[in-house]
């Protein structure tokens, strides 16, 4: 009963916020940006290959949210609706990237400009409480995980991002991607397996740094599933959470 009451309260609060947004309330729009810009930027950044493109795409997402608010009638939650727009825009930007900018390289993370005032990528992704060595190690791992994750094919990549990085419930993912729970779980299993395969070689390369046995100390090669392979898989699970 408590959960039901909580859910009703959330829907009532959201309805009030939507009404304010449709009325053009500046406070409501400020709340919307403060609530969603960071997770939307993170979601987009994991799909595109450049911080500046991610910032531009995020801004485009919010422009479409603002312009389309009058057409939002509550068939889904506000969060679901915004995430659908974000995934669509990220997919469009990714296709554009491969057609026009795939050979270009961004030299530095860029500070976001514009009315949204999104934080710089380094401010988003680096924990300043860490030691310089830890920052370097985590940044290298994060970059590699991000690179490998971008190579996981759709729709598996998006499902992994929403579940393992955005920490969404299965029901939320099903609503956002408009598929059944069974399909979400199947895609997640396949996406995780694809990412693990891509990260396995990297985990072996940097085994000592990650606390694994060196290649010389590994048990004789045999069927997959030796003690060290299991430790590598466990480490890969942790690697996926660094980003």
All structural domains of the chain, each given as residue ranges with its CATH number in brackets, are 1-100+111-125 (1.10.1740.10), 127-243 (1.10.10.10)
For the beta carbon of residue 233, count every other beta carbon within 10 angstroms. Answer: 15
Task: Select the more confidently predicted residue: 147 or 223.
Answer: 147
What number is the average pLDDT over the span 140-158?
A: 86
Alpha helix segments (H runs only) across 101-218: 121-125, 132-151, 156-160, 170-177, 181-205
* More confident of the two residues 1 and 230: 230
In the structure, what pLDDT confidence band is assigned to residue 11 with cuts at 50, 70 and 90? low
In terms of average pLDDT, the best of 63-67, 126-130, 209-213, 224-228 is 63-67
Q: What is the mean pLDDT of the chain?
A: 74
Give residue 95's pLDDT.
75
**Minimum mean pLDDT among 56-65, 87-96, 209-218: which range?**
209-218
| Statement: residue 94 has pLDDT above 90 | no
Residue range 175-196, pLDDT digits in tens? 999 999 999 999 999 999 999 8
- Among 157-161, 202-206, 212-216, the minimum mean pLDDT is found in 212-216
> Distance between CA atoms of 153 and 195, rounded to whole angstroms?
10
Percentages of the chain per state (helix, strand, coil), in multiples of 5? 70, 0, 30
Look up the pTM and report it: 0.65
Instruction: Give the count of alpha carbons within 13 A of 115, CB side only.
Output: 8
Q: How confident is the model at residue 139 (pLDDT cuts 50, 70, 90)?
A: confident
Q: What is the 3-state secondary structure (H, E, C) of the chain?
A: CHHHHHHHHHHHHHHHHHHHHHCCCHHHHHHHHHHHHHHHHHHHHCCCCCHHHHHHHHHHHHHHHHHHHHHCCCCCCHHHHHHHHHHHHHHHHHHHHHHHCCCCCCCCCCCCCCCCCCCCHHHHHCCCCCCHHHHHHHHHHHHHHHHHHHHCCCCHHHHHHHHHHCCCCHHHHHHHHCCCHHHHHHHHHHHHHHHHHHHHHHHHHCCCCCCCCCHHHCCCCCCCCCHHHHHHHHHHHHHHHHC
Would the pLDDT of 235 be above 90?
no
Rounded to whole angstroms, the Cα distance separating 159 from 174 reads 9
Q: Summarize pLDDT for 17-38 with one digit per residue, the tens.
A: 999 999 989 999 999 999 999 9
DSSP 8-state symbol, 214: P
**Strand runs (DSSP E) across the chain, as ranges?**
none
pLDDT confidence tier of residue 170, bands split at 50, 70 and 90: very high
- 1 alpha carbon, distance to own chain's centre: 33
Higher pLDDT, 222 or 22: 22
**Res. 239: pLDDT tops 70:** no
């Amino acid at each position: 009963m408590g959960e039901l009451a909580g859910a009703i309260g959330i829907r009532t609060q959201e309805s009030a916020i939507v009404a304010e947004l449709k009325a053009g309330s500046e406070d409501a729009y400020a709340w919307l940006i403060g609530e969603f810009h960071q997770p939307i930027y993170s979601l987009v950044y994991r799909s595109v290959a450049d911080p500046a493109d991610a910032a531009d795409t995020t801004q485009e997402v919010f422009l479409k949210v603002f312009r389309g608010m009058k057409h939002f009638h509550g068939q889904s939650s506000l969060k679901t609706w915004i995430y659908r727009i974000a995934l669509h825009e990220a997919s469009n930007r990714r296709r554009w990237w491969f057609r026009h900018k795939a050979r270009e390289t961004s030299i530095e993370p860029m500070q976001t400009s514009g009315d949204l005032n999104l934080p710089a990528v380094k401010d988003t992704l680096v924990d300043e409480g860490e030691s310089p060595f830890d920052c370097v190690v985590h940044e290298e791992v994060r970059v590699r995980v991000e690179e490998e994750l971008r190579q996981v094919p759709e729709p598996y990549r998006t499902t992994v991002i929403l579940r393992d990085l955005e920490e969404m419930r299965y029901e939320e993912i099903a609503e956002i991607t408009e598929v059944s729970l069974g399909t979400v779980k199947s895609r997640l299993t396949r996406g995780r397996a694809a990412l693990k395969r891509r990260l396995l070689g990297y985990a072996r390369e940097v085994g000592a740094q990650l606390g694994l046995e060196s290649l010389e100390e590994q048990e004789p090669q045999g069927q997959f599933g030796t003690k060290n392979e299991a430790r590598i898989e466990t480490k890969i699970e942790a690697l996926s959470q660094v980003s």
